[in-house]
Amino acid sequence: MGRSRSRNRYLGLAATGAALSLTVTLAGCGSVTGDNEVTLRVVAADYGDNPSNSSAAYWKKLAGEFTKDHPGVKVEVSVYSWSEVDNKVAAMVKAGKAPDIAQIGAYADYAADGKLYTTDELLAVQTEADFLAPLADAGKVKRVQYGMPFVASTRLLFYNEKLFADAGITAGGRPWAPRTWADLEAAAKKLKAANVPTPFALPLGREEAQAETMMWLLAGGGGYTDNEEQYAIDSPENVKTFEFLRDRMVGQGLTGPVEPGKLDRQAAFDAFTRGEVGMLNGHPTLLKQAAAKGVRFGMVPMPTVDGSDKPSMGVADWMMAFKNKHRKETGLFLDFVYTAKNQTAFTSTYDLLPVTTSGYRATNASTGGNSAQLKTFLQALPGSRLYPAGKKSWPGVSEDIKQNIGKAVAPGGSPDRVLSEIATAARANDPR
């Protein structure tokens, strides 16, 4: 997609309605001034959905606490909505005024252009070693880590317990959750027979088609890349996965009145909270949305082709540091950002998952708020697989998937042809 870099929300969790731009400036308590003072400029994304829960409050508190211990460093944090933050940073870089730190959706193009510090140039050893392994690996370009995960999420299958019970999908008097695709199909058929409008929601619309696609590919034993991290979008496993979706789910009328290629993630979530959807894949944001509407729901790992364990999909938003001659100060601030206390302060506010082992342990030990339900997501994180975010070509591939993957499951669609076309373009744009 180049430098235009449209909103690339890996988590799909940040609010789109808040057009807030806020700058927080904290001076070094006035004790150090003049040439010895360093100003760190940070650009961050807003995860709130209104001014009252904007991420600006978190950054203001964080920067203030850091400055108390580092009076020679001034921290300026600019918080932008997800609809504009990626483009704001791109414009700054193009103008030769890159921030010291950016917390946005993707890092690989900046790393490929030699504009970023590596993590081992910035972080204390204990901080660098604290990242959860799959997240650290996803932050690497040619085995060197540039991208630092900031927050993470995994995905689970949500199911409406009342709709399941009404349709007789029970075992021992309790709603029975599917483990295999055959189970999923059977449950969806019962929901359809019980007049549930959308037995299984399959959002392959533009909002997050790349996420729904990856979940299904992994569950079918495939994925976007092979073991050598080369694109394998058109693998036999992936083709069979989309043939199942076309023939057994869409073809039998089990995915509702809106064709998957035109159904966006949030529209599917909204329908679930209205009690119109029996099952769908969701992330932690759906916890609050469904609970607020009084929906009784269960959550289980996504069913797999044969019921065996497969990697779940993990997603992350990224932190990166530009080469602005403030390496030492930037590293100190990032070490502070990634302490367990500061990690969990952010993730607990927005029902996200920590990206460090220390944050993982702290969240797993917590018993407050939504932590009990979040633990189900948390358990899937260490063994998850992420988007191939280390590839500079990934944003363009993701956009191609958003535009075309819905055609693979349409009546008369050809998964083989659609996946082959996407894969061919991906390989052509992926330098070895």
Same domain, 96 and 207: no
**In this predicted model, what pLDDT tens digit does every residue of 309-338 receive, in sequence order?**
999 999 999 999 999 999 999 999 999 999
Residues 12 and 147 both lie in one domain: yes
Domain identity same for 109 and 178: no
The mean pLDDT of 44-61, rounded to a whole number, is: 91
Query: How many domains in the chain?
Result: 2
Q: What is residue 321's predicted lDDT score, i.e. its pLDDT? A: 98
- Judge if 169 and 53 occupy the same domain: no
Residue 386 lies in a domain: no
* Same-domain status, 198 and 91: no
Q: Are residues 355 and 239 in the same domain?
A: no
Judged against a pLDDT cut of 60, whether residue 383 lies above it is answered with: yes
Q: Are residues 363 and 411 in the same domain?
A: no
Residue 148's domain comprises: 2-152+315-380
Domain assignment present for residue 388? The answer is: no
CA distance to 164, 200, 278, per residue, from 196 (Å): 10, 9, 7
By CB neighbour count within 10 A (0-12 exposed, 13-18 middle, 19+ buried), where does 2 fall?
exposed
C-beta of residue 85 within 8 angstroms of C-beta of residue 19: no
- 148 and 162 in a single domain? The answer is no
Same domain for 208 and 306, yes or no, is yes
Does a structural domain hold residue 387? no
Residue 207 sits in the same domain as residue 79: no
Phi, psi of 30 (to 5 degrees): 75, 5
Residues 307 and 236 in one domain: yes
For the domain that residue 232 is a member of, what is the CATH number?
A: 3.40.190.10
- For residue 20, pLDDT over 60 is answered with no
Which pTM was predicted? 0.85
